[in-house]
């Protein structure tokens, strides 16, 4: 049983990353997270919004993943939880009208339990009368509302800005996830051990949106140094991502995701300087598998017995590197033929959340596997979170 429990209050058009990244990262650390939405029960979903700066005067928005709730709002008792997470996006503006949501926020505030807020969700603290004389930041246009609520407004210096004031951790947007999640774990009494590992994250155009951002931020929140690289691109360049979601068809659908910003240059990489390799899925993997440098990196990690973690379609790169013979492997179901022809021992991804470890090799079936994927990688790296 998880030693800590977190409540996450979502709503229609909550920002996609701001719901899923803390939801899966915290579970990966062994924290139980209940995601709820007013009027919804466990198994229902909320439509999310993919929001990002795209060269205009404000952010752009497209439809994101369908975020599946795992608890029922009407059954929630705030006293059963150790912390509260409030994703941003457009959901908070209408959640301020829900009396029970505001009561829950006020309950966490008055009890002094940690509250992590993002982007626009700080308005829920305003609605709960919880901001008087508190230092707070948020997405800049939210500032006037928070000032009117009595907050000591901290002007954001960048989209990665965050502020910690007592039990409130406020962030400008999802780009502060690594810091905010780290502080949330600490605020719940968590101790993170064996940090400072160096991780190489393979990226490419149209990799799956969650499958790059969730491990990127979850590992950085633990204190790991993560270098995200893509062939023919340098630090500061972007890769478009793809949202792969399940909407009742025989195969997943694809929608445009966030643009993921690389933080390292492909040509500068020395694979021997890293402790683990992470390979997201999506459509990028099929062309990254043709890159000879990437194949050499994979072989280095295999020969050095360093952890390799691949998810969904990312296993195609392992096939190309000819490193799967006799290894137990899972992947997205459509990848079965590829894995079998590569000599792997295929493990059916049933359930689709499946993640397995065989020696230094971790394979996950889909982004739904992330909590297990993160915890398995932590185990191989010797990283732990204890409360």
Q: Which residue among 120, 258, 370, 376 is the active-site one?
A: 120
Residue 45 backbone phi and psi in degrees, to 5: -130, 160
The answer for residues whose C-beta is within 8 angstroms of residue 57's C-beta and 6 or more apart is: none
209-221 vs 177-187: helix crossing angle, rounded to 10: 50
d(CA 88, CA 3): 26
d(CA 269, CA 217): 20
**In contact, 199 and 212? CB cutoff 8 Å:** no
Quote helix, strand, coil % in the chain, to nearest 5: 35, 25, 40
Q: Shortest CA distance to 363 belongs to which of 211, 231, 254, 199? A: 211
The structure tokens listed for 64 are: 């994101």
| Residue 158: burial class (beta carbons within 10 Å; 0-12, 13-18, 19+) | exposed
Q: Which residue among 37, 46, 119, 224 is the active-site one?
A: 119
| Three-state secondary structure call for residue 224 | coil
The answer for residues whose C-beta is within 8 angstroms of residue 239's C-beta and 6 or more apart is: 203, 204, 205, 206, 207, 212, 230, 233, 259, 260, 262, 284
Q: Is 119 a catalytic residue?
A: yes
Q: Is 120 a catalytic residue?
A: yes
Q: Annotated active-site positions, please?
A: 119-120
């Amino acid at each position: 049983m998880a030693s800590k429990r977190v409540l996450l209050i979502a709503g229609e058009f909550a920002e996609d990353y701001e719901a899923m990244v803390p939801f899966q990262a915290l579970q990966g650390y062994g924290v139980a997270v209940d995601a709820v939405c007013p009027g919804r029960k466990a198994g229902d979903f909320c439509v999310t919004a993919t929001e990002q700066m795209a060269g205009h005067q404000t952010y752009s928005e497209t439809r994101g993943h369908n975020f599946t709730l795992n608890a029922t709002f009407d059954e929630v008792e705030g006293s059963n939880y150790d912390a509260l997470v409030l994703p941003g996006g457009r959901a908070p503006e209408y959640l301020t009208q829900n009396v029970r949501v505001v009561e829950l926020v006020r309950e966490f505030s008055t009890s002094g339990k940690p509250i992590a807020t993002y982007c626009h969700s700080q308005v829920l603290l305003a609605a709960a009368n919880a901001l008087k004389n508190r230092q707070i930041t948020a997405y800049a246009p939210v500032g006037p509302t928070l000032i009117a609520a009595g907050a000591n407004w901290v002007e954001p210096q960048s989209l990665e800005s965050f502020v910690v004031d007592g039990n409130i951790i406020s962030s400008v947007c999802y780009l502060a996830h690594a810091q905010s999640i780290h502080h949330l774990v600490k605020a719940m009494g968590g101790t993170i051990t064996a940090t400072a590992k160096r991780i190489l994250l393979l990226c490419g155009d149209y990799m799956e949106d969650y499958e790059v951002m969730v491990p990127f931020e979850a590992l950085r929140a633990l204190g790991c140094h993560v270098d995200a690289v893509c062939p023919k691109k340098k630090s500061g360049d972007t890769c478009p991502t793809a949202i792969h979601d399940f909407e009742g068809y025989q195969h997943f659908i694809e929608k445009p995701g966030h643009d993921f910003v690389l933080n390292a240059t492909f040509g500068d990489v020395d694979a021997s300087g890293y402790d683990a390799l992470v390979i997201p899925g999506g459509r990028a993997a099929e062309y990254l598998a043709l890159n000879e440098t990437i194949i050499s990196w994979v072989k280095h990690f295999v020969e050095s017995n360093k952890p390799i973690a691949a998810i969904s379609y990312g296993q195609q790169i392992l096939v190309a590197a000819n490193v799967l013979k006799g290894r137990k492997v899972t992947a997205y179901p459509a990848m079965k033929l590829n894995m079998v022809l590569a000599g792997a021992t295929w493990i059916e991804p049933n359930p689709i959340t499946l993640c397995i470890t065989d020696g230094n090799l971790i394979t996950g079936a889909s982004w739904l596997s992330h909590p297990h994927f993160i915890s398995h990688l932590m185990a191989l790296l010797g990283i732990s979170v204890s409360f």
